[in-house]
Every structure is written in C-alpha cells, then in structure tokens.
Amino acid sequence: MHLHVIFPLAISLLLVLSPAAVRRCAAQERTDDAPPYKPLVSPLARDSATSLYTISIQDSGPLVVDLAGPLVWSTCTSDHPTFSCSSRECASANGDGVTPAPALAPRPSCRKRPNCACTAHPCNPVTGRCAAGDLTSSPMSANTTDGRSLLPHPVSFSTVASCAPENLLQSLPAGAVGVAGLSRAPLSLPSQLAARRGLGSRFALCLPGVAVFGNTTIYLMGFPLELTAIIGRTPLVKNPKRSGDYYIPVVAITMVWTSRDTPAALQPRALELDPATGRGGVTLSTVAQYTAMRSDVYGPFLQAFDAAIGAPGTVKKVPEVAPFKLCYDAWSLRPLKRLGWDVPIIRLELAAGASNNWTMYSGNSLVQVGDRTMCLAFLEMAAGGGSDDGPAVVIGTHQLEDNLLVLDADNEELRFSGILRGSGATCGSFNFTA
C-alpha cells in the first residue's frame, strides 16, 4: 500500500474514533428535560430461569429489581465518568443514609483523578457478594405516562450509579447488567427520581408487568376504575437498623375458609419488629421467590393451614415435594370461577391505621409442582439465616405477583390491591401504547 493511501486512512480513522470516544463519556452527562416532570413508566419482566424481575430503564440493559437495594449498579465501559471522592454523591453512596440525593442532575467528570475517584460498594442481592466500583453516572430512558397509557415523549436522564465488576452479575438473569435498588436509601432509583424530578418518592410495582415512578393515578386495561384510589392502604413501618427496607405492621395471620377462621397460634408479638435490635417484623422482597417465615412463625402457620383445609375432609393431601411442606392433589380441589382454587384464604391482619387486611388467594398462596400436585408456597427460613436479627417474615414475589403495590415513603404508606386476577386486569395489562 502506498503512503498516500495509508495516510488519509489514518487521518479519517482518527477523525472517526477520537471524537466518538470523547462523546461517549460526555453523553453520560445528560441534561434533564424541563420541569414539571411527568411520571415515568417502565416495563418489568420476569426471568423464568431465576424467577427474578428486571426493569428496562437503563440504556445498557435490564436491571434486576431489588426492593431492599440501596443503590443502582451495573457493569461499566472503561471510559465511564467518575465522581470526586469529596462530592455529595460520594457521601450519599457511602454515608449513613443521611446525606440525601443531590437535587441537581449529576455532574461527573470524564477525567478520572487518581486517588480521588469515589468508590461505592454494590452488593448482589442473590449471592450476598459485594464488590468495590467507581461511582458513575448512568444513562437512562423511560416513557412518561398519565397513568393510563404513554405520553408522546420518552425522556432521557442520568442517575448516580455504581460500576461493578462483571463477576458480580453471578446468579442474575442472563442479559441483566446490574441491579436497580428501590429502597428508601438516598441513591436508590426512586429516591433519585424524587430528588431530581420532583416525582415524590412514590412508585408502583405490579409484577410482572409495570413500574410507575411518581404521583399518578393508575389504570389497567380490563378494569374500568382508577386503582390507586380504591385499593387497600396500610402505614409502612421503618426498621431503625435497616432503614431502607419496607416493613408492614402485620399483627396476626389467620386462615379463612367456609366462613370459619383458623388463626395461626403464634407466640404473642411473634411478628413484631423490635426497634432496639431490628429483629422481627414483616418485610417485602422482590428477590426472594417464596415467602419465608422464621421457624416459630412457620410451624403454627402450617398447622393452621393444614387444620383449615382438612376440616371439610374433601381435600386430599399428597406427599410433600421439597422445599414445600404441605401439598395437595389438585383433582381434589374445587376450581373457582375467577380466583383459582377454593382453598383457605390467608389473611395477614394489619395493625390499626390500615384500611383492609391483606388477603391472599390461591394464585398467591399455592404453587403447582407437578401434573396434579399443588403445594403451599411458603418456606421456613434457614436456621441461623435471619433467625437472630432478621425479619420474622419476608414476603416474596410469588405472593406479590399480580398485585398492584404503591410504595410511598414520603407518607410512610403502602397501597396494595390483593390479587388482580378476577378483576379483569392483570399486571401485564398496562397500556404501553401512546
């Protein structure tokens, strides 16, 4: 090849490559669209291999939804921008949970200053493994909504996020690039959207299907009424030792069937949260698949369900299928027109201040494990795991699926629909068209 051919080629390569590299870093400092900001809506999908849920909001790929997660984190390109170790963002990421999310759009630097790039500590909610990663700015996009369908213009914005090494993705769905923490912590996704977009720290989750950030009405196709106004409400409880997590004030658990109540014979205050130690209480998880109960709660709970379902003598018990403890022959269960199977309803009785108790029907309480075997979809917490200072009950996704949940940390309130099946709507029936 002659020199005069190579030379222009080299020049044009330079012209193509170098501005692109610069642009890639600069592009992560997005200017927010103008206020007043509209509520945002993103699809939630279930990964069948892991039973985890992902949200499509980050430009580089889906993020696993972690209701108890304090940070947004993902793998990064090598030219990611960084924050200074003396920035407010760095204080929020590493603080005591007191430094609130900065109210302005993040302004990271493209030039990494050695020794003074902020390090965050993202953790994998499934494996529990943590790693160190640069705090960076993560480009995101979402559609805006009026609560019924999409508004014409999608928006792009940045959030403060942590980089994480590729191996922190272990046990997450194939294709997921990180985790979206939705806790009350200052750098969780809803806290950042609240601080910078004035959306209020209110968001709705409906698994699997849709997440909505902001103070908005919500309609699902198949059901004519606005949902947030008519569903149940309960005060949220805060655990001083795990201040990001969402707890609900459950005081008793009762099986309700054929108009008879069978309460689980729990020790007094078995479900109570001890604010001094952080032990006990009932919390919500989008990472645990099945609700897990501390042994002293699980035993009486199983007994009550077994007694309630056994009372009429029509339901045939079959050998248990691990990890479940109570299983039934589906052919002995009576199907209901709209609500699955006719089995005892599990009623979580809520403390004063709630508008309703939380009732779980078969769609949330049973799981099919074979052709004709249905099991009670609740697990005993592993001994030691959480028994010492963990929650008494962690409500998992099998129990939250097809339920609309609206978490409102500003008002310390949870709104909950119970299973939507039977109403005509499902979590998959949000109208994702303009």
Ligand X SMILES: *[C@@H]1O[C@H](CO)[C@@H](O)[C@H](O)[C@H]1NC(C)=O
Residue 154 contacts ligand X per CB under 6 A? yes
Closest approach of Cβ 215 to ligand X, in Å? 4
Contact stretch for ligand X (CB under 6 A) within 220-228, 281-289, 325-333, 352-360: 352-360
Closest approach of Cβ 171 to ligand X, in Å? 26
Q: Are strands 63-66 and 178-181 parallel, antiparallel or unpaired?
A: parallel
Contact stretch for ligand X (CB under 6 A) within 11-19, 45-53, 83-91, 353-361: 353-361
H or E element in which residue 347 lies: strand 345-350
What span, in angstroms and rounded, lies between the C-alpha atoms of 350 and 183? 22
Among 142, 163, 287, 309, binds ligand X (CB under 6 A): 142
Closest approach of Cβ 160 to ligand X, in Å? 19
Among 62, 122, 186, 200, binds ligand X (CB under 6 A): 200
Closest approach of Cβ 354 to ligand X, in Å? 5
Residue pair 187/117 in contact by the 8 Å Cβ criterion: no
Neighbours of 310 (CB within 10 A): 14
Among 121, 299, 339, 432, binds ligand X (CB under 6 A): 432
3-state secondary structure of 356: coil
Residue 215 contacts ligand X per CB under 6 A? yes
Looking up tokens 């069978």 gives: 262
Q: One symbol per residue from 357 to 376: x for binding ligand X (CB under 6 A), - otherwise; what is it?
A: x-------------------
Write out the DSSP string of 370-415.
ETTEEEE-EEEPPTTTTTTTS-SEEE-HHHHTTEEEEEETTTTEEE
Contact stretch for ligand X (CB under 6 A) within 21-29, 187-195, 334-342, 347-355: 347-355
Q: How many residues bind ligand X (CB under 6 A)?
A: 14
Closest approach of Cβ 55 to ligand X, in Å? 10
Among 143, 286, 373, 429, binds ligand X (CB under 6 A): 143
Cis peptide before 323 (omega within 30 of 0): yes
Give the up-direction half-sphere exposure of residue 397: CA atoms within 13 A in the CB hemisphere: 23
Contact stretch for ligand X (CB under 6 A) within 140-148, 317-325, 398-406, 423-431: 140-148
The residue (of 75 and 357) whose beta carbon lies closer to ligand X is: 357
Strand segments, DSSP code E, in 53-132 are 53-55, 63-66, 72-74, 119-120
Radius of gyration of the chain (CA): 24
The residue (of 70 and 200) whose beta carbon lies closer to ligand X is: 200
The residue (of 39 and 125) whose beta carbon lies closer to ligand X is: 39
Contact stretch for ligand X (CB under 6 A) within 15-23, 96-104, 136-144, 387-395: 136-144
Residue 16: burial class (beta carbons within 10 Å; 0-12, 13-18, 19+) = exposed
Among 91, 105, 150, 369, binds ligand X (CB under 6 A): 150
What span, in angstroms and rounded, lies between the C-alpha atoms of 177 and 76? 9
Residue pair 275/240 in contact by the 8 Å Cβ criterion: yes
Among 356, 368, 370, 385, binds ligand X (CB under 6 A): 356
Contact residues for ligand X (CB under 6 A)? 141-143, 150, 154, 200, 215, 349-350, 354, 356-357, 410, 432
